[in-house]
């Protein structure tokens, strides 16, 4: 843990955490882009749980997907968010911090543990950005998501004005 505390850039923290991002983010499945900058912010479109081989994680949490499985899907989504962010900015070190995540969970009507699932993505992203990674967040359940994916998360990041310290 002390090594993590010594790292002072998002790219260094990512390496120290032993995380590898996909070479490129998944292609959008509609008429939109993965990320767009405006007013000093980067808006990353909703990303899903797509692994390095392009396999989607699908199902309904509370029916055929467990909380633990869905948490791992949210972790995969976080890596895809960071991949889209890096592809847009050139480096995570161009980002000052995380503003907000919004997490959607494809769940049964009686399911109530949405925050526990999205926490996995929040914790990973906050770990990469250190103190500036603590963010506002919304998490909620929905009746369905595109392609029956289990989790979708979009994100807002603040761009760095100069070199990130």
Read off the pLDDT of residues 84-130 as tens digits, 9 standing for 90 and up.
Answer: 999 999 999 999 999 999 999 999 999 999 999 999 999 999 999 99
Structural domains of the chain, with CATH: 2-159 (3.30.1330.40)
SS3 63: coil
Q: How confident is the model at residue 165 (pLDDT cuts 50, 70, 90)?
A: very low
Kindly report, residue by residue over 2-26, the tens digit of the pLDDT.
444 457 999 999 999 999 999 888 8
SS3 163: coil
Residue 69's contacts (CB-CB under 8 Å, 6 or more residues apart) are 57, 150
pLDDT value, residue 6: 57
pLDDT value, residue 162: 56
pLDDT value, residue 28: 86
pLDDT value, residue 87: 96
**Residue 138 predicted with pLDDT over 70:** yes
Burial code (b: 16+ CB inside 10 Å, e: under 16) for 135-151 equals bebebebeeebeeebbb
Predicted model pTM: 0.93
> How high is the mean pLDDT of the chain?
93
How many residues does this entry show for the chain?
Answer: 165
**Residue 77 predicted with pLDDT over 80:** yes
Phi and psi at 34, nearest 5°, equal -70, -35
DSSP string, 19-50: ----SSPPPPSSSS-SEEEETTEEEEEEE--B
pLDDT value, residue 97: 97
Rounded Cα distance, 156 and 61, in Å: 25
Specify the DSSP element, H or E, that contains 157.
strand 151-159
Averaged over 71-75, what is the pLDDT?
98
Q: Which of 109, 107, 154, 99 is nearest to 132 (CA)?
A: 99
């Amino acid at each position: 843990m002390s090594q993590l505390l010594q790292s002072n850039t998002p790219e260094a923290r990512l390496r120290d955490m032993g995380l590898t991002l996909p070479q490129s983010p998944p292609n959008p499945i509609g008429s939109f882009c993965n990320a767009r900058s405006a007013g000093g912010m980067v808006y990353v479109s909703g990303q899903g749980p797509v692994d390095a081989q392009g396999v989607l994680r699908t199902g309904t949490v509370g029916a055929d997907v467990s909380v633990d499985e869905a948490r791992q899907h949210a972790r995969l989504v976080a890596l895809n968010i960071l991949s889209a962010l890096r592809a847009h900015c050139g480096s995570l070190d161009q980002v000052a911090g995380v503003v907000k995540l919004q997490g959607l969970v494809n769940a049964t009507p009686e399911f109530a543990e949405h925050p526990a699932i999205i926490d996995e993505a929040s914790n990973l992203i906050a770990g990469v950005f250190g103190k500036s990674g603590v963010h506002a967040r919304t998490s909620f359940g929905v009746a369905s998501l595109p392609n029956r994916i289990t989790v979708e998360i979009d994100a807002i990041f603040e761009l760095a004005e100069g070199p990130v310290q």
